[in-house]
């Protein structure tokens, strides 16, 4: 019998890639999504990749009664991966209450309903944003957390605390928080990827849209940082590598191989890449010269951060496999795919 995994936010960027990897690893995947920031058509593309059409329940996790009804119909869920959340850093500064309500209420509802039906395994989608600007690099799981620089980041910190406290209060609950560094790229089939609504906030979708001619030029936010080339440094990892880490985390929990009821892992490559290096990588894989302009720093940006992934390497037996160029190439292929698809519509 296949183990049934519930994926909240499973039609989103990381959720859809994780659903594919779970199905390919032999799990049954069922999805809850309110389609606020994603498209139901993603299910068709998951089907094209895997030959399996996961059940999609269009449901808002803030609607607890409906959530209870749905999970009540699926009491045999072995574990939950919780992706569903608002995720735009800048927007969260403008609409903090929306972010706190949505991201925290949905998590609390989920934990309460899981408890009600005695579903005990949870993987939580966290972020390296919880570290703020760390004093020492690379970042390990023991690096002290700094105060969050945005309401979004704060919802990740509070979310982790809520989950940790739940595992302390109820020894039946087991959870893993995965702290992602910067996921980029798309599935090699180019059938699923990131679909930013409107103008992208993140570097790589902005790069690929500029390369495609949708944007005039990329704005590089600052070249006066204390880094080798003056631009900010991040740890960009391929979304498929990231998705595979969720499968490993699920296997660890469902097989009872976890070493504590609450565990945290950094998911990154261990390599810091500057904005200019990311531009070079894009130019290399696309064969295009990118138009860009250096402008002032973006408020709230961290100067540099990259992961020490050795704990995840050792404990989860997971590491990233794709290079920056490979990940960038899939981002570019995906950009071309969605633009061609839009032209056909
Ligand atoms: N950048 C530009 N120009 C752009 C967009 C970004 O120069 O048009 C730069 C940023 O200044 C930063 C780097 O590219 O130096 C990466 O920026 P992103 O917006 O792609 O990523 P962030 O690191 O700011 O944020 C991402 C996710 C958040 C998550 C955070 C964790 O968007 O959800 O990583 O640090 F919380």
Q: Tokens representing 42? A: 């993603």
Q: What is the pLDDT of residue 292?
A: 98
Tell me, using a 6 A CB cutoff, whether residue 85 lines ligand 1. Answer: no
Q: What is the pLDDT of residue 66?
A: 98
Tell me, using a 6 A CB cutoff, whether residue 55 lines ligand 1. Answer: no
Query: Ligand 1: distance of its center to the CA of 182 in Å?
Result: 8
Query: Ligand 1: distance of its center to the CA of 106 in Å?
Result: 25
Q: Which residue has the tokens 């296997």?
A: 251
Tell me, using a 6 A CB cutoff, whether residue 182 lines ligand 1. Answer: yes
Report the nearest-CA residue for atom 5 of ligand 1.
203
Tell me, using a 6 A CB cutoff, whether residue 277 lines ligand 1. Answer: no
CA distances from 171 to 83, 175, 315 (A): 23, 11, 21
d(CA 276, CA 286): 15
CA 143 to chain centre: 21
| Beta strands 28-33 and 4-8, pairing class | parallel
Report the nearest-CA residue for atom 32 of ligand 1.
202
Query: Ligand 1: distance of its center to the CA of 110 in Å?
Result: 29
Contact assessment for residue 67 and residue 73, using Cβ atoms and an 8 Å cutoff: no
Q: Which residues are known to be catalytic?
A: 152
Q: Tokens representing 345? A: 């519509």
Report the nearest-CA residue for atom 36 of ligand 1.
129
Query: Ligand 1: distance of its center to the CA of 76 in Å?
Result: 39
Q: Pocket of ligand 1, candidates 222, 234, 277, 279: which has the most ligand atoms within 8 Å of its Cβ, to mutate? A: 234
* 100 class by beta-carbon count within 10 Å (0-12 exposed, 13-18 middle, 19+ buried): middle
156 CA closest ligand 1 atom index: 36
User: How is residue 249 annotated by DSSP?
Assistant: H
**Taking the model in full, what pTM does it have?**
0.97
Tell me, using a 6 A CB cutoff, whether residue 276 lines ligand 1. Answer: no
d(CA 166, CA 319): 29
Tell me, using a 6 A CB cutoff, whether residue 306 lines ligand 1. Answer: no
Give the long-range contacts of residues 95-103, CB within 8 A, separation 24 or more. Answer: 96/151, 99/151, 99/152, 99/155, 100/151, 100/154, 100/155, 101/62, 102/62, 103/152, 103/155, 103/159
233 CA closest ligand 1 atom index: 15
* Residue 128 neighbours by CB under 8 Å, 6+ apart: 139, 179, 180, 181, 182, 235, 266, 268, 305, 307
DSSP string of 63-126, one letter each residue: -HHHHHHHHHTTTTEEEEEE--S---HHHHHH-HHHHHHHHHHHHHHHHHHHHHTT--EEEEEE
Tell me, using a 6 A CB cutoff, whether residue 298 lines ligand 1. Answer: yes
Q: What is the pLDDT of residue 321?
A: 98
* 199 class by beta-carbon count within 10 Å (0-12 exposed, 13-18 middle, 19+ buried): exposed
Contact assessment for residue 122 and residue 83, using Cβ atoms and an 8 Å cutoff: no
Q: Tokens representing 269? A: 């490559």
Q: What is the pLDDT of residue 107?
A: 98
The rounded average pLDDT for each run of 10 residues, N- to C-terminus, in the chain (345 residues) is 97 98 98 96 98 98 98 98 95 96 98 98 97 94 93 97 98 97 97 92 96 97 98 98 98 98 98 98 98 94 96 98 98 94 77
Report the nearest-CA residue for atom 16 of ligand 1.
203
Q: What is the pLDDT of residue 345?
A: 67
Tell me, using a 6 A CB cutoff, whether residue 19 lines ligand 1. Answer: no
């Amino acid at each position: 019998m296949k183990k049934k995994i519930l994926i909240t936010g499973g039609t989103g960027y990381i959720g859809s890639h994780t659903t594919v990897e779970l199905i390919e690893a032999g799990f049954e995947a069922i999805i809850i999504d309110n389609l606020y920031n994603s498209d139901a058509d993603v299910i068709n593309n998951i089907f094209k990749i895997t030959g399996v059409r996961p059940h999609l329940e269009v449901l808002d996790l803030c609607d607890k009664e409906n959530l209870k009804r749905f999970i009540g119909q699926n009491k045999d869920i072995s574990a939950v991966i919780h992706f569903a959340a608002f995720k735009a850093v800048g927007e969260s500064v403008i609409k903090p209450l929306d972010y706190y309500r949505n991201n925290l209420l949905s998590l609390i509802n989920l934990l309460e309903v899981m408890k009600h039906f005695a579903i005990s395994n949870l993987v939580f989608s966290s972020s390296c944003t919880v570290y703020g600007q760390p004093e020492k690099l690379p970042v390990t799981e023991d690096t002290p957390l700094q105060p969050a620089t945005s309401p979004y980041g704060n919802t990740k910190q509070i979310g982790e605390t809520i989950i940790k406290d739940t595992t302390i209060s109820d020894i039946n609950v087991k959870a893993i928080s995965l702290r992602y560094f910067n996921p980029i790229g798309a599935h090699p089939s180019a059938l699923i990827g990131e679909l930013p609504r409107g103008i992208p906030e993140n570097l790589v979708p902005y790069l690929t849209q500029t390369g495609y001619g949708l944007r005039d030029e990329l704005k590089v936010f600052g070249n006066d940082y204390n880094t080798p080339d003056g631009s900010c440094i991040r740890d960009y990892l391929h979304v498929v590598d990231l998705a595979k880490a969720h499968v490993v985390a699920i296997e660890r929990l469902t097989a009872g191989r976890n070493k504590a009821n609450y565990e945290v892992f950094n998911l990154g490559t261990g390599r810091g890449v500057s904005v200019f290096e990311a531009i070079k990588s894009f130019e290399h894989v696309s064969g295009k010269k990118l138009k860009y302009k250096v402008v002032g720093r973006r408020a709230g940006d961290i100067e540099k951060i990259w992961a020490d992934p050795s704990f995840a390497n050792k404990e989860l037996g997971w590491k990233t496999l794709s290079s920056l160029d490979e990940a960038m190439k899939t981002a570019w292929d995906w950009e071309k795919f969605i633009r061609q698809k839009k032209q056909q519509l």
